[in-house]
Amino acid sequence: MLHDLMKKAFRIIFYFVLPALIALVIIALIALPPIAKNYINKHGKEYTGRKLSVEQIRINFFTSTFHVIGFKMFEANEQATFVAFDSLTVDINPLRLFSSELDIEKFRIVKPEVIITQQDSVFNFDDIIAFINSKPKTDTVSKPSGPFKYVVKNISLAAGKLTYNDKGIDYTNIMSNLGFAVPYISYSREEISEAGLKFYFENGGFLQAMAGYHQTNGSYNADLEVRKLDLAPFLPYLKPYFRFKSYEGSVDGKFHIQGNINNLDSVLIRGDANLADFAAKDPSDRKVLGAAKGNVTMADSYPMKSVFNFEKIILTEPYLFFEMKDSTNNFLNLMVEDTVSSSEPFEYYYQINHFKIDGGVVDFRDNSYGDPFDYHLDEIALKVDSVSSANTWLTAYSTARLNKRGKLKAELGINPSDPYELKLNYVVTNFQLSDLNIISRYYVGFPFLLGNMYYEGKTVITARQITSENKLIVRNAKLGKKSKGLMNIPLKLALYLLKDVHGDIILDLPLSGDLNDPKTKVGKLVWEVFKTFIVKVVSSPFRALSGLMGVDPDEIRGIEFNYADTTLTDGHLRRVRLFTELAKKKPDMKIEMAYYNDTELEKQAIAVDEAGKLFNTATGADYRKAKDQFTAFIAKKLQTDTVNSINGSVLLIGNQKLDSIQNSFVQKRISKIEAALQVADDSTRIKVVIPNKEAPENVGSRPVFELKFSMDE
């Protein structure tokens, strides 16, 4: 259909409009001007389908100059003006007419005005096209039978005005002070027609074109140059799709177009385009997209075949403002709902040999945490080579500055047809922990007063399953005062426990998740993994502290005694010294030695030991080697036939004595531990405490002094 319309357009222009113009000029030269004027005013509609009006016609027969003054073509209602101009000047070389050639030395229009209106796909000039197409195929509109040629030189337009009104989108654009100059247009049925055009914009820019058309085979070519093309007037055409408040910038470019009107697929375009000072603002007048400069070099491309080849695309200082809120973002909100999912996919091919970003800036805002979380990235550089729609995988390298202090270096591998197939390796240095205060307060209730971080991550997403390995080195971390947070975790203690001898915290945080689950949010997933890690560290801190002390984790867990034993061994004393050294290295941490013991089990052990002493006195034998004799001895003492050696020993010795002995053991152990602590460090802050006897840690426990750590949150 488009092919037929283009062919009809060419036929109308070359076989109707231009011959009609020639005829009018010749008639005006022959007839007296007043007669020509009256004839046009009365019968113009018969030739054009619209009422015409001319104020004056002047002819200088000596110079062959033809003037039309005060011309109007009315709308179909014959009231409003469609086309008008103040004056038309045509300078003809009449002698060339005898050689079947129309030679116009000058064609100048002053103050032309055109008013175009559109309602959906209907234009206010459609009736003119219909009128032309309805005319019978007479000699007037048929192709000339013999060779004919015309040449029009020095074509110019001055002080023009174009008004365009699109009623469908309630948009009116008025372009004033328009002007252009066309050096020449030539036409011959047997030759190539050529034309030059220069069209001036009101802002000082211009559109320049040189074009040629081969009459015989239908081939054409054109070289276009545009300077300072203002993008702002195109905003209304974006409004059906995007809610931009303003859209500005300018474009320069040079393009070559060639093809054949008989084969639309042959259209070829190549060239360069440069964008300057681009900015798009949202309804709140906030800039959301921008670029200081943009450069696109298009190689041979075939738009009708949906084939696009680019040698390079370079963006200099591009800008993006991205804002998240709940389950949406500002760019989804900018899209008009009816158009979000209405477009159907189509097949296309693209190739970009070089893609590059220099000096990019991203302002990120997340409103998910009560207070807005703002983060600024600048000095963004990105480079990708050989990007193609045929690629199944591409790799990009990027660097950036984080909040004007940190540094990011990243390598991204991604499947262009599926963004959920990717590999991301990155390193972050000098990341300031205080930049995360909004998020850290929201989740754990703590702000960071000081601290920076080195962060190395490796993330893989396959079949929407994410796995990530994350290594963090945190230096000089200091927390502020705790407030409310979603997660009630002892973060201050955990970080203090994790600090090594240099004050650094080294963390390995692996995470995984199913992105098919809409409840899976990467940010929340990271904090959940962090919470699990912190709780694990606090509940079992010995692995973290063992690295600081250079010992096995068991050596700093505590000191354990056997039941009925109060002897401090050399091993026990070594551990006491380790504890005091640890207290010196962690001066802000409160350390306690909590004493746990299952008193019932120990009383049973004491009872057996005391009964064994009685057995040894009576028989001279060791109860541990003569178990049957020992059991029989207890049964005889209790005057019973059968008895369990343990229960029998408890009955034989009695609870009162057992309680006394057991209490003395407790006091001896505590006294010896406290004395050993004083010997190791006479200013030690380590305290021995006895938790509630109902504490579950007592159940099944041997006598043990277990280290406990805490800090004021």
Quick: pLDDT tens for 36-95. Answer: 778 778 887 888 888 888 888 888 777 778 888 998 889 889 889 988 999 988 888 776
For residue 410, tell me if it sits in a domain. Answer: no
Mean pLDDT across the stretch 565-581?
A: 94
pLDDT of 667: 95
Same domain as 98, residue 46: yes
C-beta neighbour count of 428 within 10 angstroms: 19
Q: What's 141-195 look like in SS3?
A: CCCCCCCCEEEEEEEEEEEEEEEEEECCCCEEEEEEEEEEEEEEEEEECCCEEEE
State the pairing for strand pair 590-596/687-689. Answer: parallel
Same domain as 87, residue 37: yes
Element holding 522 (H helix, E strand): helix 522-539
For residue 366, count CB atoms less than 10 angstroms from its CB and return exposed for 0-12, middle for 13-18, buried for 19 or more: middle
Domain boundary among 488, 507, 539: 539
- Which of 307-316, 437-446, 616-625, 626-635 is predicted least confidently? 437-446
DSSP string, 607-661: HHHHHHHHHHHHHS--TTT-HHHHHHHHHHHHT-S---HHHHHHHHH-HHHHHHH
Domain boundary among 539, 561, 579: 539
The residue type at 539: S
Which token pair is 438?
């909004």
* Per-range mean pLDDT, top range of 183-192, 339-348, 452-461: 452-461
Same domain as 162, residue 15: yes
pLDDT of 295: 97
Contact 225, 200 (CB under 8 A): no
Whether pLDDT at 288 is above 80: yes
- Which of 52-66, 95-109, 312-326, 418-432 is predicted least confidently? 95-109
Distance in angstroms (rounded) separating the CA atoms of residues 635 and 300? 108
Same domain as 589, residue 524: no
Distance in angstroms (rounded) separating the CA atoms of residues 171 and 239? 10
359 half-sphere exposure, CB direction, 13 A CA radius: 9
For residue 652, tell me if it sits in a domain. Answer: yes
Distance in angstroms (rounded) separating the CA atoms of residues 156 and 181? 4
Burial 620-635 (b: 16+ CB within 10 A, else e): eeebeebeeebbebbb
DSSP string, 25-84: HHHHHHS-HHHHHHHHHHHHHHHHSS-EEEEEEEEETTTTEEEEEEEEEE-TTSSSEEEE
Same domain as 90, residue 28: yes
pLDDT of 29: 52
Distance in angstroms (rounded) separating the CA atoms of residues 171 and 159? 23
The strand ranges marked E within 569-615 are 590-596
Contact 318, 291 (CB under 8 A): yes
Same domain as 658, residue 622: yes
For residue 664, tell me if it sits in a domain. Answer: yes
Same domain as 151, residue 2: yes
| Full domain range(s) for residue 334 | 242-338+347-390
DSSP string, 359-407: EEEEEEEE-TTSS-EEEEEEEEEEEEEEEETT-S-EEEEEEEEETTTEE
Backbone angles phi, psi at 337, to 5 degrees: -55, -40
CA-based nearest residue to 708, from 595, 596, 597, 593: 593
The residue type at 686: I
* Coil/strand/helix, residue 458: strand
The residue type at 166: D
Distance in angstroms (rounded) separating the CA atoms of residues 39 and 18? 20
pTM: 0.68
For residue 107, tell me if it sits in a domain. Answer: yes
587 half-sphere exposure, CB direction, 13 A CA radius: 3
Mean pLDDT across the stretch 286-290?
A: 95
Mean pLDDT across the stretch 449-467?
A: 87
The rounded mean pLDDT for the chain is: 83
Distance in angstroms (rounded) separating the CA atoms of residues 122 and 664? 106
Which token pair is 125?
């000039």
Same domain as 200, residue 138: yes
For residue 291, tell me if it sits in a domain. Answer: yes
pLDDT of 19: 52
pLDDT in tens, 500-523: 777 788 888 888 888 777 676 666
Distance in angstroms (rounded) separating the CA atoms of residues 197 and 208? 5
Which are the contacts of 613, defined by CB distance < 8 A and separation ≥ 6? none
Same domain as 459, residue 438: yes
Q: How confident is the model at residue 98 (pLDDT cuts 50, 70, 90)?
A: low
Distance in angstroms (rounded) separating the CA atoms of residues 337 and 326? 18
Contact 403, 380 (CB under 8 A): no
Whether pLDDT at 629 is above 80: yes
Residue with structure tokens 């545009």? 226
Same domain as 665, residue 522: no
Same domain as 53, residue 30: yes
Same domain as 95, residue 20: yes
Distance in angstroms (rounded) separating the CA atoms of residues 154 and 710? 92
Domain boundary among 216, 234, 260: 216
Which one-letter DSSP state was computed for residue 549?
A: H
For residue 402, tell me if it sits in a domain. Answer: no
Mean pLDDT across the stretch 165-193?
A: 70
Contact 649, 610 (CB under 8 A): yes
Burial 96-120 (b: 16+ CB within 10 A, else e): beeeebbbbbebbbeebbbbebbee
Contact 173, 164 (CB under 8 A): yes
CA torsion 350-355-357-363 (nearest 10°) is: 30
For residue 570, tell me if it sits in a domain. Answer: yes
For residue 411, tell me if it sits in a domain. Answer: no
CA-based nearest residue to 398, from 413, 386, 380: 380
pLDDT of 6: 39
pLDDT in tens, 409-428: 999 988 877 878 889 999 99
Whether pLDDT at 165 is above 60: yes
The domain total for the chain is 4
Whether pLDDT at 607 is above 90: yes
